Amino acid sequence: MTTNREAFDSIAASWYRIRHWPLLRTELEEVSRRWHSGRVANLGCGHGSDFLPLKEGFDLYGLDFSRQMLLHGRKFAARRGLRASLIQGDLVALPFGDGSFDYAIAVASYHHVEGEDAREQAFAELHRILRPGGEVFLSVWNHLQPRFWFTPRDQQVPWRTEGKVLNRYYHLYRHRELRDLLRRAGFRIEWMGPERRFRGPIRRLSRNICVLASRPP
């Protein structure tokens, strides 16, 4: 079976061709205005399009487990005038010191962490690398989105490229589960809800669960 890392290495070129904008631009623009400046980790950065709203005034670092995504990230950074340090690594063992960052973003990253223990460890690592008073904005896919009704919470989601179908592991979160994981890791939830562009009548059925959380001083 193809691992997630192998799948993302294989889809990196096709991903780069179609993803030249932030997936959650409005939310990232909001946190950019909230934070103003500082040292930011983009965890699960892919080729780096989510850096764009934080281009000015921030010291940017990106981490991804896919070497091919990072190679495309260097190309994207050169094209868009981004100055970011890009590092290969894993969310469950972040290669950064304690309290290294003022802020972090993680758009569509933590739903690729497989296993309950690994997810606990990944959020503990996120808490560890933030300074006291630091904040993180993150998003994960919501199990309650209609696409996944009556399906397991652990999924293999296909990506089609060059005549091949590559499956990527996703863990689909529930709101309470995500809230509990973050709180057990030591975070305070500042805000949790759907993506800003969601217009459905029932907020809990959004595609994404978005969270702004802080490490208490």
The residues spanned by each domain of the chain are 4-104+113-214
pTM, two decimals, is: 0.96
pLDDT tens profile 106-154: 999 999 999 999 999 999 999 999 999 999 999 999 999 999 999 999 9
State residue 163's pLDDT score: 75
- Provide the mean pLDDT of the chain: 95
**Residue 162 binned pLDDT confidence (cut-offs 50, 70, 90):** confident
pLDDT tens profile 19-43: 788 999 999 999 999 999 999 999 9
Distance CA 118, CA 132 (A): 23
Q: What is the CATH number of domain 4-104+113-214?
A: 3.40.50.150
**Could you tell me which residues come within 8 angstroms of residue 6 by beta carbon, excluding any fewer than 6 positions away?**
none
187 phi and psi, to 5 degrees?
-85, 155
Residue count of the chain, please give it: 217
Helix (H, G, I), strand (E, B) or coil at 150: coil
